[in-house]
C-alpha cells in the first residue's frame, strides 16, 4: 500500500512539474512568443530527386554498371581527386571494375603517393602500387584547410553512406549549382557569402566547393557525352561502389540465404504443426 | 522440476549414466528446456520472444567475439579497422552488419518480451524475481549497446559518448568530475574508447549470467500463460520438448527471415549516416540522436525544458537538466516497483477490461509516440508532444495502474488452462480441491499458486 | 503418475501418419543442421588472411651497393629478406657442393637467376620454426658451412642458403623476383 501511495504521489509530482514548468511555458511561448526566424537559405533549398531513371544498382536486384563505374572513376581521377582523397580504397580494388592485374599495376603507377627515400629516409613521393590507397593531395588537414578557404575537402571513400540517400545526394549536389532567383533573393535579402557558392541541393545552399564539373570536361573512352548530369551520375555511381564494394555480392548472398530460410521455416512450421496436431482438438 | 508430473530424466546408455552421476548436465538441460519442464499448453506466439532474445544474445556474442579479432580500440585507427572489416576481412561486411542489426533485433524481441509482460502482468507474484532480473538485463543491455555504438568511432559514436556521459554532469557537486572520470579525459578519446571496448566485451557475459538467473527464477513457479490462471493439473501442461522447442524453432525461422532481410538488403536503415563520418571533436552533427532503441527514453530526457523554480523568486530548486536525467532513469526504474504498483488479483489483460483499454489506447500509443519523438528534431511541436506523452507514461505506471487495480471489475476467469483451451466439457477430471478460486466464474481471484512440489 | 500428455491425446495417428510425421521432422532438423553448419563458413573464413594481406605486394631492393661477400637485410611482406652477393670463391664452393649429400638437394644455379649467379636472394626465415638465421650482418655466426646459422635450434645453411646440418627440413625459401635493372631487384 505504501508503495502504491508513494507511486501515485511521485507520478502526480512528476506530471505536475512537467506540465507547469516545462509544457505550459513552452506552449505559451509557442502560441504567443516570437516565431522562430526563418533562415534566408530555407527559401532556396530544394530537395533533389536523384538522376532520372535511377541507378543500375538500385533495388534488391540491382547490379553494377561496370562501364559507368569506369567512367565515374575517370571523373574522380581527373576532377575530384584534385582535392579529395579516398583513403579506404586501394588501387587493387579497381580490379572489381573489370581491369586486369596489369592494367591495375599501370593505373596505380600513374598516381603519385607519399613515400620515403630509401637512401636518405626523407619523405618523398613515388609511383603508386596496387596496395596503396588513393592519396590525399594535401600533406595534412591544415594544408587542406589553408588551400581551400578553411573548408577541408572530405574523404570520399564513404561519401554515399555518410549522407542520407547518398547516391542521389551526390548526384543532386553536383547538379545543384546555379544562381538564386534574383527577385526572391532581393526580397529576403539573401546573398551568397564571399568564398561560398550557391547550391540549391546543399542543406544551407552555401557550399564551399566551387562547381567542379562543366560540360565536356573529361573525354570518356567509350564515347559517352560528358555532360554535367552524365558525369555527376557516373561519379555518384562510382562513389557508391567505393562506399560499399560488396553491395551486389551482399544482395546476391541475401537472396540465397532468404530462399534457404523460407524453405527451412516452412519445414519448421510443418514439423511444429505435426507435433501439436494430436494435442488440440477443436473446441466443441 | 516444479510439478509433480514432470518427466524424469532417465539416462539410457552406460556413458550417460556415468555422466549423470559425475556431472548431471544433461539432466539439467532436460529439466530446464527439455521434456522435463512442463509448460502451460496455451502459450501464444508472444511467448516465443524469450527464447528469441536468448538467441540474439548468442548471435551478438559470437559475431562480437569475431569482430573483436579485427578491431582496434584506438582513436587513430578504430574507424579504419571497421572499414578494414567491411572491405578486406573475409565476410567481414556480413559479420559487422549482423552484429549491428543483431543489436536492433535483440532490442526488438526484448521490447516484445517486455510488453508481453506488461499485458499479461507477468511481473506479478509469484514471478516478481523473474521480472526484476529482467529489468536488470534490460539495463545491462542498454549500457552494452551504448558502449558498442561508440566503438566504430564515427561522428555519432563520438558525440553519443560525449552526450551520454554528459548526463552525469547533471548530478550536483560530483557530476562534472564524474564525467571526467568516466571518460578518463575532458572529452571522449583513447581512454574512453578503450574502456568502452573492454566493458562492451565484458558486459554480454554478465548479461548471460543474469539470463541464467532469470531462467532459474522462471523454473521455480513455471511459465505464466495467456489466461493468467496458474497450472493446476497435468492436462494444463505439455513438456517443453518437443512442443515448445518445435514452436520456438518455427518462431526462430520467422525472425531470421526478417533479420536476414535487414542484414542483406537494408543493413544501414536502422543506423545513422553520420556514423560513416570519422569522429571529429571540432564539429557536431546537426541532429544528435542515439540508436532507435533508446528513442523513448531520449524523448523523456528532452521533455524537461524548464527549471523547477519557486515562482516569482527566480530560485532554482532543480535545474531542467537534472529533472530530465532523473525522469529518464526513473522511467525504467519504475519497472522495478511494478509488481507492487499493480495489485489486481487477475493477471491477464484479457480479463481486465479497464486495464486493457489503458494498455491499448494509453501505453501503446504513448510508447509509439515516444519512439517517434525521440528521433525528431528538438523543436516545436515535437517538444510539447513529448512532454504530453512523457506525462502519460509516468501517470500510467504510477497513478493509473494502482487505481484501476483497485476499482476494476474483472471478467470471469476460466477454471483452468485445460478448460480455457478445450472448453468446459472436454476438461478432464480436475482436482478441485484446496483452491480458493474454484470454478465459479466471476470470483476472479487467481492469487493462489498451485504448490510447486 | 508421469503419463505422457502427448501420447495420451494423440490417438488418431495411423501408421502412414507416423511415417509422414517422422519424415517432416527429419527434414526440418536436417535443414536446420545445414543452416547451422553453413553459418560456420564465414565464422571460420574470417580468420584467414584478409584481402589487403593477400594482395600481392612487391618490394624493390637496390643491390648496387652490396660488395662481394656482403649481405643486406630487407623486408618483404613483413618478413626479413636476405640479399647476398657471393664472392667467386663462394660461388665455386657452392657449385662444388651441388652434388653433395643434402636434405633438400638444389643447385646454386636453380637458386639464382642466370647472369646474376652472384646474387642470392632468400627469405630470412629458418624453415625449421621460423626464427631469423644469423649470418647476414657483418661479424655474425655463419655456421659450419659459411652461410647462415639459426641460433634457435642450430640449423646450418651453406653459402647458397641450403640446409646442411640441424633440424630444418628445407632450404631457405627463394621468393619470386626479377631484375628491373642491373642494380635493382623487384621482389614479389
pLDDT per residue as tens digits for the range C120-147: 999 999 999 999 999 888 888 888 888 9
Q: For residue range B126-137, list pLDDT tens digits in order.
A: 999 999 999 999
Q: What pLDDT does residue B1 have? A: 46
Q: B186: which DSSP letter?
A: S
Which residues, 6 or more positions from B73, have their beta carbon under 8 angstroms from its beta carbon? B151, B190, B193, B194, B196, B197, B198
Query: Residue C186 corresponds to which cell in the numbers above?
Result: 623487384
Q: What pLDDT does residue A283 have? A: 46
CATH value at residue A131 = 1.10.760.10
User: Has residue B428 got a pLDDT over 90?
Assistant: no
Instruction: Count CB neighbours of A256 within 10 A.
Output: 13
Q: What pLDDT does residue C62 have? A: 86
Q: For residue range C4-29, list pLDDT tens digits in order.
A: 434 433 444 444 555 655 889 999 99
Query: Residue B364 corresponds to which cell in the numbers above?
Result: 501503446
A140 within some domain: yes
Question: For B90, which of C5, C32, C45 is closest by C-beta distance?
Answer: C45
Please give the span between the terminal C-alpha atoms of chain B, in angstroms, as a whole number: 8
Cα torsion through B159, B165, B170, B174, rounded to 10: -140
∠ CA B48-B53-B54 to the nearest 5 degrees?
105
Q: Are strands C79-85 and C163-165 parallel, antiparallel or unpaired?
A: unpaired
A59 within some domain: no
Residues B69, C46: C-beta atoms closer than 8 Å: yes
- pLDDT (mean) for A146-155: 91
Least confident of A40-44, A259-263, B254-258: A40-44
Confidence tier at A284 by pLDDT (50, 70, 90)? very low
Residues C131, C106, single domain; the answer is: yes
The answer to whether the beta carbons of residues B334 and B363 sit under 8 Å apart is no
Q: Where are the alpha helices (DSSP H) in C46-148?
A: 51-54, 88-96, 108-111
Say which residue the cell 543452416 belongs to. Answer: C35
A104 within some domain: yes
Cα R_g (chain C), whole angstroms: 30
A122 within some domain: yes
Q: Which of C143, C138, C139, C187 is nearest to C161 (CA)?
A: C143
The answer to whether the beta carbons of residues A130 and A90 sit under 8 Å apart is yes
Instruction: Count CB neighbours of C129 within 10 A.
Output: 12
| Distance between CA atoms of residues B90 and B316, nearest Å | 58
Confidence tier at C98 by pLDDT (50, 70, 90)? confident
Q: What pLDDT does residue C56 have? A: 64
The domain total for chain A is 1
Asked, as a colleague might, if the bond just before B126 is cis with ω within 30 of 0, I would say yes
Q: Where are the alpha helices (DSSP H) in C72-179?
A: 88-96, 108-111
User: Has residue B265 got a pLDDT over 70?
Assistant: yes
Q: What pLDDT does residue C46 have? A: 95
Write out the residue range of the structural domain in which residue C10 sits. 5-45
Residues B276, A275: C-beta atoms closer than 8 Å: no
The answer to whether the beta carbons of residues C50 and B92 sit under 8 Å apart is yes
Question: For A21, which of B306, B340, B391 is closest by C-beta distance?
Answer: B306
Residues C24, A264: C-beta atoms closer than 8 Å: no
Residues A3, B257: C-beta atoms closer than 8 Å: no
- Within 8 A of C7 by CB-CB distance, chain B residues are none
Q: Are strands A206-207 and A197-198 parallel, antiparallel or unpaired?
A: antiparallel
The domain total for chain C is 2
Q: Which of B290, B286, B310 is nearest to B300 (CA)?
A: B290
Q: What pLDDT does residue B437 have? A: 42
Q: C83: which DSSP letter?
A: E
* pTM, full prediction: 0.90
User: Has residue A193 got a pLDDT over 90?
Assistant: no
The percentage of chain B sitting over the pLDDT mark of 90, rounded to a whole number, equals 82
Instruction: Count CB neighbours of A276 within 10 A.
Output: 18
* ipTM score: 0.93
Residues C39, C62, single domain; the answer is: no
User: What values do phi and psi take at B140, rounded to 5?
Assistant: -65, -40
Confidence tier at B448 by pLDDT (50, 70, 90)? very low
Domains of chain B: residue spans and CATH: 43-267+286-422 (1.20.810.10)
A185 within some domain: yes
The answer to whether the beta carbons of residues B220 and B32 sit under 8 Å apart is no
The answer to whether the beta carbons of residues B408 and B342 sit under 8 Å apart is no
Query: Residue B115 corresponds to which cell in the numbers above?
Result: 510488453
Residues C82, C30, single domain; the answer is: no
The answer to whether the beta carbons of residues B408 and B355 sit under 8 Å apart is yes
Closest alpha carbon within chain A to C56: A131
List C-alpha distances in Å: B441 to A283, B67, B437.
Answer: 19, 57, 9
| Distance between CA atoms of residues B359 and B379, nearest Å | 28
| Distance between CA atoms of residues A272 and A29, nearest Å | 59
Residues C61, C33, single domain; the answer is: no
- pLDDT (mean) for B303-327: 89
Confidence tier at A40 by pLDDT (50, 70, 90)? confident
Residues C107, C157, single domain; the answer is: yes
Residues C87, C130, single domain; the answer is: yes
Least confident of A33-47, B6-20, B202-216, B259-273: A33-47
| Distance between CA atoms of residues B445 and B229, nearest Å | 9
The verdict on B92 touching C (C-beta cutoff 8 Å) is: yes
A281 within some domain: no
In a 13 Å sphere around the CA of B146, the CA atoms on its Cβ side amount to 21
Active site residue C25: no
Mean pLDDT for chain B? Answer: 91
Question: What 3-state DSSP class applies to A40?
Answer: helix
The verdict on B421 touching A (C-beta cutoff 8 Å) is: yes
Q: What pLDDT does residue B286 have? A: 83
Residues C29, C117, single domain; the answer is: no
The verdict on B133 touching A (C-beta cutoff 8 Å) is: no
Question: What 3-state DSSP class applies to C188?
Answer: coil
| Distance between CA atoms of residues A51 and B301, nearest Å | 41
Strands (E) located in chain C: 59-62, 71-76, 79-85, 119-123, 146-150, 155-158, 163-165, 177-179, 184-187
Q: Which of B300, B305, B290, B367 is nearest to B327 (CA)?
A: B300
Q: Are strands A112-116 and A123-127 parallel, antiparallel or unpaired?
A: antiparallel
Residues 55-114 (C) with a CB less than 8 A from some CB of A: 55-58, 62
CATH value at residue C80 = 2.102.10.10
Q: Which chains touch B (3 or more CB pairs under 8 A)?
A: A, C
Write out the residue range of the structural domain in which residue A171 sits. 48-54+64-244
CA B453 distance to own-chain centroid: 30
| Distance between CA atoms of residues A273 and A276, nearest Å | 5
Q: Are strands C163-165 and C177-179 parallel, antiparallel or unpaired?
A: unpaired
More confident residue, A154 or B311: A154
User: What values do phi and psi take at B309, rounded to 5?
Assistant: -115, 160
Amino acid at each position: 500500500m505504501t508503495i502504491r501511495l508513494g507511486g501515485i504521489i511521485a507520478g502526480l509530482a512528476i506530471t505536475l512539474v512537467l506540465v507547469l514548468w516545462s509544457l505550459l511555458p513552452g506552449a505559451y511561448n509557442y502560441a504567443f512568443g516570437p516565431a522562430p526566424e526563418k533562415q534566408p537559405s530555407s527559401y532556396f533549398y530544394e530537395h533533389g530527386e536523384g538522376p532520372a531513371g535511377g541507378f543500375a544498382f538500385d533495388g534488391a536486384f540491382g547490379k553494377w554498371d561496370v562501364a559507368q563505374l569506369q567512367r565515374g572513376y575517370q571523373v574522380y581521377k581527373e576532377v575530384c581527386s584534385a582535392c579529395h582523397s579516398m583513403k579506404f580504397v586501394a588501387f587493387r580494388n579497381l580490379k572489381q571494375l573489370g581491369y586486369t592485374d596489369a592494367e591495375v599495376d599501370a593505373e596505380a603507377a600513374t598516381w603519385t603517393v607519399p613515400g620515403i627515400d630509401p637512401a636518405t629516409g626523407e619523405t618523398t613521393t613515388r609511383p603508386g602500387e596496387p596496395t596503396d590507397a588513393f592519396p590525399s593531395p594535401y600533406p595534412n588537414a591544415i594544408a587542406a584547410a589553408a588551400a581551400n578557404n578553411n573548408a577541408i575537402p572530405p574523404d570520399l571513400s564513404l561519401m554515399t553512406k555518410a549522407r542520407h540517400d547518398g547516391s542521389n545526394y551526390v548526384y543532386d549536389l553536383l547538379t545543384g549549382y546555379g544562381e538564386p532567383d534574383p527577385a526572391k533573393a532581393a526580397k529576403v535579402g539573401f546573398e551568397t557569402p564571399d568564398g561560398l557558392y550557391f547550391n540549391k541541393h546543399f542543406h544551407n545552399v552555401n557550399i564551399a566547393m566551387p562547381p567542379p564539373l562543366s560540360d565536356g570536361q573529361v573525354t570518356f573512352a567509350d564515347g559517352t557525352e560528358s555532360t554535367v548530369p552524365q558525369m555527376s551520375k557516373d561519379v555518384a555511381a562510382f562513389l557508391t561502389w567505393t562506399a560499399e564494394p560488396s553491395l551486389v555480392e551482399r544482395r546476391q548472398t541475401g537472396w540465397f540465404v532468404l530462399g534457404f530460410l523460407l524453405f527451412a521455416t516452412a519445414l519448421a512450421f510443418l514439423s511444429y504443426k505435426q507435433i501439436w496436431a494430436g494435442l488440440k482438438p477443436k473446441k466443441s | 522440476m516444479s510439478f509433480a508430473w514432470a518427466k524424469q530424466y532417465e539416462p539410457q546408455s552406460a556413458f550417460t549414466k556415468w555422466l549423470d552421476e559425475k556431472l548431471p548436465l544433461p539432466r539439467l538441460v532436460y529439466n530446464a528446456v527439455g521434456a522435463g519442464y512442463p509448460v502451460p499448453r496455451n502459450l501464444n506466439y508472444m511467448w516465443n520472444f524469450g527464447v528469441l532474445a536468448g538467441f540474439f544474445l548468442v548471435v551478438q556474442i559470437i559475431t562480437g567475439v569475431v569482430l573483436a579479432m579485427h578491431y582496434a580500440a584506438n582513436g587513430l585507427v578504430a574507424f579504419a579497422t571497421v572499414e578494414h572489416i567491411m572491405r578486406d576481412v573475409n565476410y567481414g561486411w556480413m559479420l559487422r552488419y549482423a552484429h549491428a542489426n543483431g543489436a536492433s533485433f535483440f532490442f526488438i524481441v526484448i521490447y516484445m518480451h517486455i510488453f508481453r509482460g506488461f499485458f499479461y502482468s507477468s511481473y506479478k507474484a509469484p514471478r516478481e524475481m523473474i521480472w526484476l532480473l529482467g529489468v536488470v538485463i534490460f539495463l545491462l543491455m542498454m549500457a552494452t549497446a551504448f558502449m558498442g555504438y561508440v566503438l566504430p568511432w564515427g561522428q555519432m559514436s563520438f558525440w553519443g559518448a560525449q552526450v551520454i556521459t554528459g548526463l552525469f554532469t547533471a548530478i550536483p557537486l560530483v557530476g562534472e568530475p564524474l564525467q571526467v572520470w568516466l571518460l578518463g579525459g575532458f572529452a571522449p578519446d583513447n581512454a574512453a574508447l578503450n574502456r568502452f571496448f573492454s566493458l562492451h566485451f565484458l558486459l554480454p557475459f554478465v548479461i548471460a549470467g543474469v539470463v541464467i538467473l532469470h531462467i532459474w527464477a522462471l523454473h521455480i513457479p513455471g511459465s505464466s500463460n495467456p489466461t493468467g490462471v496458474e497450472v493446476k493439473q497435468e492436462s494444463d501442461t505439455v513438456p517443453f520438448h518437443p512442443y515448445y522447442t518445435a514452436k520456438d524453432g518455427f518462431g526462430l525461422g520467422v525472425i531470421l527471415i526478417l533479420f536476414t532481410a535487414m542484414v542483406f538488403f537494408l543493413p544501414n536503415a536502422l543506423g545513422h549516416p553520420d556514423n560513416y563520418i570519422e569522429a571529429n571533436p571540432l564539429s557536431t552533427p546537426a541532429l544528435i540522436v542515439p540508436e532507435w532503441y533508446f528513442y523513448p527514453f531520449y524523448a523523456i530526457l528532452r521533455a524537461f525544458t524548464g527549471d523547477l523554480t519557486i515562482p516569482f523568486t527566480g530560485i532554482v530548486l532543480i535545474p531542467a537538466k537534472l529533472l530530465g536525467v532523473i525522469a529518464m532513469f526513473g522511467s525504467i526504474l519504475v519497472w522495478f516497483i511494478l509488481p507492487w504498483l499493480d495489485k489486481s488479483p487477475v493477471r491477464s489483460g484479457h480479463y481486465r477490461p479497464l486495464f486493457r483499454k489503458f494498455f491499448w489506447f494509453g501505453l501503446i500509443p504513448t510508447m509509439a509516440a515516444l519512439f517517434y519523438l525521440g528521433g525528431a528534431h528538438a523543436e516545436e511541436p515535437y517538444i510539447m508532444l513529448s512532454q504530453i506523452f512523457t506525462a502519460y507514461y509516468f501517470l500510467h505506471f504510477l497513478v493509473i495502474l494502482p487505481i484501476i487495480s483497485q476499482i476494476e471489475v474483472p471478467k470471469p476467469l476460466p477454471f483452468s488452462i485445460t478448460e480455457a483451451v478445450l472448453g468446459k466439457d472436454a476438461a478432464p477430471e480436475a482436482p478441485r480441491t484446496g483452491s480458493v478460486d474454484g470454478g465459479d466464474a466471476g470470483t476472479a481471484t487467481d492469487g493462489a499458486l498451485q504448490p510447486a512440489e | 503418475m508421469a503419463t505422457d500428455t502427448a501420447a495420451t491425446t494423440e490417438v488418431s495417428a495411423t501408421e502412414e501418419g507416423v511415417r509422414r510425421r517422422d519424415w517432416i521432422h527429419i527434414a526440418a532438423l536436417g535443414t536446420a543442421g545445414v543452416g547451422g553448419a553453413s553459418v560456420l563458413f564465414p565464422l571460420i573464413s574470417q580468420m584467414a588472411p584478409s584481402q589487403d594481406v593477400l594482395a600481392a605486394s612487391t618490394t624493390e631492393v637496390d643491390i648496387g651497393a652490396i660488395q662481394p661477400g656482403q649481405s643486406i637485410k630487407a623486408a618483404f611482406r613483413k618478413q626479413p629478406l636476405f640479399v647476398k652477393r657471393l664472392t667467386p670463391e663462394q660461388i665455386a664452393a657452392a657449385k662444388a657442393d651441388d652434388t653433395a649429400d643434402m636434405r633438400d638437394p638444389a643447385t646454386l644455379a636453380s637458386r639464382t637467376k642466370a647472369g646474376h649467379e652472384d646474387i642470392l636472394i632468400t627469405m630470412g626465415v629458418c624453415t625449421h620454426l621460423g626464427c631469423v638465421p644469423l649470418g647476414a650482418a657483418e661479424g655474425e655466426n655463419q655456421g659450419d658451412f659459411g652461410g647462415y646459422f639459426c641460433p634457435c635450434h642450430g640449423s646450418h645453411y651453406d653459402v647458397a642458403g641450403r640446409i646442411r646440418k640441424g633440424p630444418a627440413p628445407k632450404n631457405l625459401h627463394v621468393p619470386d623476383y626479377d631484375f628491373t635493372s642491373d642494380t635493382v631487384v623487384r621482389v614479389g
